Amino acid sequence: DVKVTQSSRYLVKRTGEKVFLECVQDMDHENMFWYRQDPGLGLRLIYFSYDVKMKEKGDIPEGYSVSREKKERFSLILESASTNQTSMYLCASSPARFHEKLLFGSGTQLSVL
């Protein structure tokens, strides 16, 4: 089965910590995305990438950065975690720049205490 894998299902961090959320896809997809999911707010796009070493800001990039050193891996970085970043984080990928369908990972529930 083709997959988008997020390294952690649950994560608990302290305020001020640097946090890395990892996402790996095994489908040779060009596009990768990080969404944040909060109750009543749906999915909001944080960052996305069309290619290695390329990144573009989504709708809510503040407080986040990303890294894509290899095609299969897209990392979301919280430089200094804050309590308002407690959320579900979903990684997704798609095979070409204008391809329509997203394939999702199973999410990382991050709690910042």
Partner 1 sequence: AQTVTQSQPEMSVQEAETVTLSCTYDTSENNYYLFWYKQPPSRQMILVIRQEAYKQQNATENRFSVNFQKAAKSFSLKISDSQLGDTAMYFCAFKDTNAGKSTFGDGTTLTVKP
Q: Site residues (CB under 8 A) for partner 1? A: 31, 33, 35, 40-45, 48, 50, 56, 58, 88, 90, 92, 97-98, 100-102, 104, 106-107
Identify which of residues 15 and 106 has a Cβ nearer to partner 1 in the complex.
106
Q: How far apart are CA 13 and CA 30, in angstroms?
A: 31
Place of tokens 């990144």: 55
- Which of 75, 60, 59 has its CA nearest to residue 22? 75
- Helix, strand or coil, per DSSP, at residue 84: helix
Query: What's the token pair of residue 55?
Result: 């990144």
Would you state the torsion angle of the CA atoms of residues 68, 73, 79, 85, taken in this order, to the nearest 10 degrees?
A: 120
Is-contact 109 12, C-beta < 8 A?
no
Q: Closest separation between CB of residue 35 and partner 1, Å? A: 8
Identify which of residues 17 and 56 has a Cβ nearer to partner 1 in the complex.
56
Q: Which residues pair with 4 in a beta bridge?
A: 25
Q: Closest separation between CB of residue 95 and partner 1, Å? A: 12
Identify which of residues 24 and 90 has a Cβ nearer to partner 1 in the complex.
90
Q: Closest separation between CB of residue 16 and partner 1, Å? A: 27
Identify which of residues 77 and 88 has a Cβ nearer to partner 1 in the complex.
88
Q: Closest separation between CB of residue 106 and partner 1, Å? A: 5
